[in-house]
């Protein structure tokens, strides 16, 4: 119509089901890793694959915890104690028992993901809670959990010698929710998400050395 303007359709919201799918796909591929490969370095990270899985589990656990209190904190994180098991390792509030092996490690990851799925599914959409990259709602925490899951599984898959490419739809929705500054047309959704999080370079787009998302609603 004359005088009308066309706008791109808004991507569908990020949901608890999206998060559950991301965690399930990640665990499925990580279960195929050789049991003796978890001490290898996780891609370009300074952590090994075991520590990276613990870090991812801790992220999902911590995001669930932020949404947990009746009045979620807006000025900081729920004050669990974060500590590293070795110098240079990730500071986590939770760790996996090494004697349980990779099977136990992935159960910790599954359980942490399930906690966040449950909180996103049951929290009021009006809930707001603190994150260092912006106070977020449950959808924002779901999107953050998905990004953490997708990119850290990428890191681990590199170190474990596994193939990993998540569904394009998941990548599209979290890019739209958390990275509004990233053009959707620079590449396919998965490499765009890897570029947005500083993992790769793209033609005409050097690898990011600093980046952050925006979790605000």
Domain boundaries, the chain: 16-196
What's the number of CA atoms in the CB half-sphere (13 Å) around residue 85?
Answer: 14
- Assess contact for 199 and 156: CB atoms under 8 A: no
Per DSSP, the three-state class of 102 is helix
pTM strictly above 0.85? yes
CATH class of 16-196: mainly alpha
Helices 101-122, 138-160: axis angle to 10 degrees equals 160
If you write DSSP's letter for every residue of 43-97 in order, what string do you get? TTSSSBHHHHHHHHHHHHHHHHHHH-SSS--SSS---PPPB-SSTTS--BS----
17 — pLDDT class (breaks 50, 70, 90): very high
- Tell me, rounded to whole angstroms, the distance of Cα 92 from its chain centroid: 15
β-partners of residue 202 are 205
Assign 32 a pLDDT band (cuts: 50, 70, 90): very high
Rounded CA-CA distance 213/177 in Å is 9
pLDDT per residue as tens digits for the range 70-112: 999 899 989 888 888 888 889 898 899 999 999 999 999 999 9
Three-state SS across 131-194?
CCCCCECHHHHHHHHHHHHHHHHHHHHHHHCCCCCCCHHHHHHHHHHHCCCCCCCCCCHHHHHH
Q: Report whether pLDDT(2) > 70.
A: no
pLDDT tier for residue 4 given thresholds of 50, 70 and 90: very low
């Amino acid at each position: 119509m004359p005088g009308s303007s066309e706008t791109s359709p808004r991507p569908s919201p990020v949901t608890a089901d999206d998060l559950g799918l991301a965690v399930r796909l990640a665990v499925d591929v990580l279960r195929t890793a050789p049991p003796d490969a978890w001490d290898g370095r996780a891609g370009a990270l300074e952590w090994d694959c075991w520590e990276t899985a613990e870090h991812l589990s801790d992220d999902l656990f911590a995001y669930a915890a932020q949404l947990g209190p009746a009045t979620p904190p807006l000025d900081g994180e729920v004050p669990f104690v974060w500590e590293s098991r070795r110098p240079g390792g990730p500071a986590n509030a939770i760790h996996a028992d090494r004697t349980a092996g990779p099977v136990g490690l992935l159960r910790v990851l599954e359980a942490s993901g399930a906690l966040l799925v449950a909180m996103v599914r049951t929290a009021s959409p009006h809930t707001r809670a603190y994150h260092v990259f912006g106070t977020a709602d449950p959808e924002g925490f779901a999107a953050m959990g998905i990004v953490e899951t997708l990119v850290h599984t990428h890191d681990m898959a590199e170190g474990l010698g596994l193939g990993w490419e998540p569904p394009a739809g998941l990548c599209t929705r979290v890019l739209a929710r958390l990275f509004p500054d990233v053009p959707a047309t620079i590449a396919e959704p998965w490499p765009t998400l890897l570029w947005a999080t500083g993992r790769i370079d793209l033609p005409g787009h050097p690898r990011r050395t600093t980046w952050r998302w925006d979790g605000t609603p």
